[in-house]
Amino acid sequence: MTLYGVGLGPGDPDLISVRGREILDGVDVVYSPGRLSRAVATEHVPESRIGDLDFPMTSDEERLREAWKEAAAEIAPEARAGDAAFVTLGDPNVYSTFGHLRRTLDAFHPDIDVEVVPGISAMTAFATALKVEVEAGAGLALREAAGGHAPTGPDRMILFKVTDAPETARKLDRAGYDVRFGRRLFMDAGETVIADDAEAVADRDYYTLAYAKRRGLETSRATDEFAADADANGRVSATTDVEVGDD
Ligand SMILES: C[S@@+](CC[C@H](N)C(=O)[O-])C[C@H]1O[C@@H](n2cnc3c(N)ncnc32)[C@H](O)[C@@H]1O
């Protein structure tokens, strides 16, 4: 039978895909790697079908390898006897714990079939939440920025794992970027924060990302003409801040 890696989306239970929901309905057991993914999963399946896995909070690779071997040993018999799912927030193939599980299964339980159901990743959800349009032709890079790091280079970047927003913001400002932060976007648990000021997200919260754009980037879009026409005709576009008279 099959182990399904199911992306739950960013955290609002209704942002799972229809296929993901159907898979969760049909499998015998649903494993989750953490508290938040478990909370979202329980919106879709009864607690009695949730399988708990224990992962230590450590960067010790030896302990982590042991934990993954234990998780794979627990999941493999379930996925042999029936169908099972392993859920992750966002997409299972984007910076996700699911990758470790799949590699461990490949190494120690290669007979297990694995299928992935994609989820809405924070790397796409940020665009709607932060009102960013990634235009055709624009480049966009995904980077990590834990511990006050501030990668530079690309014109536009999404930064995951922002744990010291003020420090990351200071460095990016010096390097010529404008930065906006998003915390717990489309997430039921906790408070959603969207801010240009890093102080608004200064406290550490793992579910924080940033969008950085090089200052002074020139963009040219075919529809720019419409705004010029609107100005010429005295109409007000949605993004301009102009008072309209009665006549
Ligand atoms: C290990 S990555 C997991 C990414 C996930 N697999 C995905 O596709 O969105 C965790 C990082 O993603 C970002 N992240 C994930 N969900 C988020 C959300 N709902 N709001 C803001 N940032 C989020 C944060 O930067 C967090 O540190």
CA distance 28 to 41: 14
Phi-psi region for residue 161, left (φ > 0), alpha (ψ -120 to 50) or beta?
left
Task: Compute the distance from residue 44 Cα to the ligand 1 centre, in Å.
Answer: 20
Atom of ligand 1 at shortest range from CA of 10: 19
Q: Residue 101: enclosing H or E segment and its boundaries? A: helix 98-108
Q: Is the Cβ atom of 160 under 6 angstroms away from ligand 1?
A: yes
Binding site membership of 95 for ligand 1 (Cβ less than 6 Å):
yes
How remote is the CA of residue 109 from the centroid of ligand 1, in Å? 29
Give the position of tokens 């834990």: 146
**Average of pLDDT values for 128-142?**
95
Work out which ligand 1 atom sits closest to the CA atom of 187. 19
Position 233 confidence tier, pLDDT thresholds 50, 70, 90 = confident
pLDDT in tens, 168-182: 999 999 999 999 999
Answer whether 37 contacts ligand 1 (Cβ < 6 A).
Answer: no
SS3 state of residue 221: coil
- In the predicted model, is pLDDT for residue 18 greater than 80? yes
- Count of other CB atoms within 10 angstroms of residue 31: 23
Q: Does residue 246 carry a pLDDT above 50?
A: no
Our answer on whether the CB atom of 185 is closer than 6 Å to any ligand 1 atom is yes
Q: Mean pLDDT across the stretch 15-37?
A: 96
Average pLDDT, the chain: 92
- Structural domains of the chain, with CATH: 2-120 (3.40.1010.10), 123-214 (3.30.950.10)
